[in-house]
Structures are given as structure tokens and as C-alpha cells.
Structure 1
């Protein structure tokens, strides 16, 4: 399992969503903690959906308006149970489904003042008293342990670090370093905070699929106009056809610049160069996204309706999305077995709609004993009698919270009751022919 922790510094722009999605896939991350997303609660689900249906997220919107902490994981590989949540902490129990790895992980995003962070230190001490198993704390504490850790900011006084240092001593944890086993600090890329990766397995990077330009056909009557247009669009094509290669080149330059900036933090030329490269990457990412959208439409037009591998791949994807993989019953138990899911649906609708009454109402004598059903009509009266019986629904017994009239109207929207039934009975035999 690979765990990531990253202060993303805003996740509302498409550029950052795309970069983050690419980062997750490239590094094969299974569990991630995001901080300072700046996403409103009404937009959170839409943005989370863009990472794919395999990802599930928990947040702390109940305690923080802008969702200060997001924790996401792949349900096929990781099992995560939230234990404790507030505006500065999401504390979870994590189990890797493919290995024996199990640990408590606390995702932290501390507030910006000394007084506001003091409840955080007390919460960490309380969590320490409840566990005696491996514990990993990840996040942005908005605090430092040593004066020399401050870069490009106002000087820090010792009093500001004292609470943090004392908390780490009390909970008996140490700082992860560059040389720690399984710990990798990545370049900041689209943020000004570096992500950290905790590796529990070896991964191999997969090569990217080559870009293919799909051409169409030209109608003979407009060939000449297309030839004229070709002269004006040739340079445009040269500029934008290699968008993916341009983005890759810009990322390589950004990586080199950030590595140099890591050695010389106050180099103004490198700082300006990093900003310019980030703007260039954002612009070309948007251009590449438009190209991919046009390419996807062309692919569907060309292969979508054919009996091809592409068609069946789309069909399987849609069937997978429409599959009920798990439900929770009334006891809040999670059911994943298809047979148990089917049984739970049957029980639910049986309780909702009820069962057929064994005896028709009115077919009882004075002592409450059932009377044998009247004989079935024959001859010309059979059509009218049979039709009347068909449109009079049998009574149901079951859920008392649902009225009998509501059940009838839901199951038999065109049924006749009351005076309408009497009217039908008074009609001459054979008068209804359709």
C-alpha cells in the first residue's frame, strides 16, 4: 500500500484536479490525505467524482466550512474506518486488504495561531492514550520544530514551537526523514507544499499510451476550401499537436527548477522561473484537455456503435457502474454477498407492500368463518364477471403504516372501487367489448 499526504493549497481549478489525478495514478497511491482544499461542501462530491468511482472520501465539513481535510482511499485495496473527527484531525484505522499491514493513521491540518493549535496537541495526547498499536501521524501542523526549519517567512520565536515539541515528547513519536525506510518527499509540483509518500510496496511506472490523431473525410465540394484553410491552420497544428510532449517537457524543467530551488531557497530568479513554469503547465494542460475531449467524441463516432472491443469495454463499464455491490440493512450492517442483498430487497418490499389476504373481505359468516368462494360465471356473463374481478384488486395485509388505498393505487392505477364498481356491475352483459 502507498500512502500520500499533501497540502494541495486549493482544489477548485480543473488544472489542479487533473494534476492531482495524474499524480495518484503515476505513483499508484491507495490512501491519500489532502489539506486546505478550499472547496465548498456543495461542490465537494462533484470534484471527488472526477477521481473515479474507485475512490471514497471522508471529510470534516461538519466541523470546518471549507473542508480542511479530505481522506480518500481505494475501496478495493484499503479498508478505512473513521474513529474521530474534528476541525483539525481525522483519526482512522487502516487495514491493507492485500497484506497484513494495519495501523492507526491520524491526518492533521493545524490552525494558524498558537492558541488555536493548543486543542490539537491535547487531542493527540488523548488519542495516544486509546491505542497501543502502530500509529502514523501525517499532515500540515502549521508549526515547526526548529528555528532553521522556517524558509521565506517571518522569524519564529521559541514560544511558538514549545507546545509542538512538548506534544511530540508526550506522545512518543519521531519525525520522518529523507532516509527513513519507505519515506519519499516529492517535488511540490502544482502546490507550494511538498507531498510525502509512505511506501509499503515496490511499484513500477507504466508507460503512457501514444497519442493518435484521428482524421476525417472531406466532401468533394469543399475540398478546395479545405485546401485554403489548410495553409492557415498548418502552423496552428504544429503548435498544438505536441501538447502532451510540451507538458512533459515543462514538467521536467519544473522538476529541475524546484530541485535547484531546494538548494537555494532565496534565489529570486529561480522563484520567478518556478511561477512562470507553473502558469505554462496550467495553460497547456487546459489545451490538452480540450484536445482529449474532441478525441473522445471522434472515437465514439468511429467505434461506439460497432460490435468491437471498444463497444464492449464501454458496455462493461456501464454495467459495473449500475451494479449494486453493497447495501446497509436496518441494523446498519454492510452486506456484500449477492444472495444476502437479494434477500434483503425481498424482505424490504414484502414489509412495504404486504401479503395477499387468504380470504376476500365479505366472504365470512356471522361467526367469522370463511365462506367458500362463489362459483365462476360461464357463458356470456363470464366476460363481464371476469373483467370485474380483474379490475378489483385483492386486499393486502402487511405494513400498517401504508394505507390500503395507497397500496391499491400504486399497484393498480386503473382499478375501480366504490360507486364505480357498482356502476360496472349494473351494465348489461356483453356491453363491454374492448
Structure 2
């Protein structure tokens, strides 16, 4: 005989066991229960918006920072057919959302072929519904650490748990990542922990070489002059100093000729348009016409290379450079490349940028050694 959990039987138990905590569940919609949410009422406010058999959709607001976002907690059913109402409902839900949104955790489905090891091979039929849903809603995986596969029965391992975020999350000021831990003895799923951090990023940006600089007529001269500058010292000091001066010269070149490249390209287009209007109205051809055309050609190509390099997409078209898709790709790449957590040599984990930097310095000191002074 099955026992159906409901608010009447579960409510008093939760109130006694979890004093000072809020709770929500969908046990009235499913035998044995599927999703149970618990939260500290002194830390966050949670407003339940929609509850169904396969997900609970809510709004979470931090009491400390007053930042809020939407979260959908998912526990997908175990067959392709029974999960389809979930994808349809979430797609409809995504069409109405215009703010930061995160969806987690157990989808019971894959996005990619390599997310399963052992057992029968993954087919496109198994992945198609979730892929269509993620694409329709513009969802990407939140930056994650820990283990790639999140479920195992001893013979088969899969990635069934994940945290997906939309473009509004990527554009917002959320410095977050998901951590997938070892399941332990009581579970067969990894625990999914989403860390939301205060911004702790250095204000200065690391130097990045931009391919568009090579388009300028003075680029090679800048390289030659910078590298030919005399420097006195040992080989390592000379190399370090020349690289520093070289970066400085390239930054100056960028500032003078390529800074705010989109704005410069737009102004050049407007200037060329006005000149061409005058010519087509029967006016004389200005002497600077040829120069303006060369200038706009250079700036357009530089702008294209700039956006293509930022998106790291060799198939990027000109028309894509300012679309929502492009900015989502850039944001995703920037956050994926960030080092948000490091396991130190003593086994402890740290998210402090200072400790991460110290760990790198100590590691390379041990790897390369320190300069020894010979005393005669």
C-alpha cells in the first residue's frame, strides 16, 4: 500500500525538524515526493511562483545584498515521453522571462554525447528534446568545478545534473559557479552546490594581443622600434623589460587608433555617407574621398576582427557582431576562462584571488627554483 506524502502529513514534521527555515514541495502532485526545498528565512526570501510534478519555479531574493533572480528546481521523469511536458512547460516559461534565471538540477537527460560512459551509446533521440529546449531559451551551463559526471550506478556514469543560466544572468553582476561533489555512501547523485560570490576581481585587465592591430600601417614600425630600444642587464631582465615596453607601445597604438572601434567605424561610415550623398547630388568629388574610403575599409575590417576574436568564433559573420547571441557568447567565454576556485597543495579549496595567486607563485618557485648567489 502506497503512502502519499502531503502538506497535512509533512508540514508538522518539517516545522519541528527545521526551525527557522522555510520550505516548499510538490508532494501533493507526486507519490513518494519528488522535490523538497528548504531555505534559511533569515538569509533569503523565496516566493514560490509555480509548482508542477517535475519542477518548482520560484523567485529568490538575498536579504543581505537585495539581489534577486528566478530559480527553477527540476527533477525530470525517467523516460523521454514523460519528460516532454517538462521541456514544453519550461520553453513556454522561458518566453515570459526577461530577467536573471537559473534552472537546476536533475534533468535525467543529456546535452552531449560524451556525457555518458558505459552502457548503450547515447543517441540523438535521447538528447534532442533537451537540446531544442536549451537553444530555444538561450540557456548555457553555468561555470562549474568538480566532477564532470554526476550520477553512477557502478556500471554506467552520466551527467544528469547541471545548472543552466540564461543570457540575462550572464549580463548581470553575478559572479557564480556550480560545484559538483562526490555523492558519498547514501546517494548516487553528486550534490550540486551553486556558489554566488561577491565581486573579487582585480580592476586591471590582463594584456591581450588584438589581431586588428596588425592592420595598421605603423604596426611593424612600432614592433621594430620597441624591440630595438637598448636595455642593459642580464638576459631575463632584458626580455622582461622589452616585453613590458612592447605592451606599452601596443596599448598606445590601440588607444590612438582602435579604441572604441565600433564608434569609430560608425563615425567613418557617417562621414563616407555624407560625402557620397554630395557626389550623387551632382557635387564635386572631394580630394579626401579616396582617403575616407580606405579609412572606413580599415576600420570595418578591424571591427570585424575585434568581435571575432572576442567571441573566439571563426565562423562569425559581420551581421552577428552586435547581436544578443554574440554578447552571450562573449560573456560565457569570459566566465568559463575565469579561475574561480583552486585546490591548494594541502588539499583545501580556496576562492580567494590572493590565495590563488600565492599558490601559483609558490608552485612555480618550487618548479623553477630560486636564483642562487655564488659566494667565492
Give TM-score, length-normalised by structure 2.
0.41
Greater gyration radius: 1
| Larger RCO, structure (CA 8 Å, separation 6 or more) | 1
Give TM-score, length-normalised by structure 1.
0.36
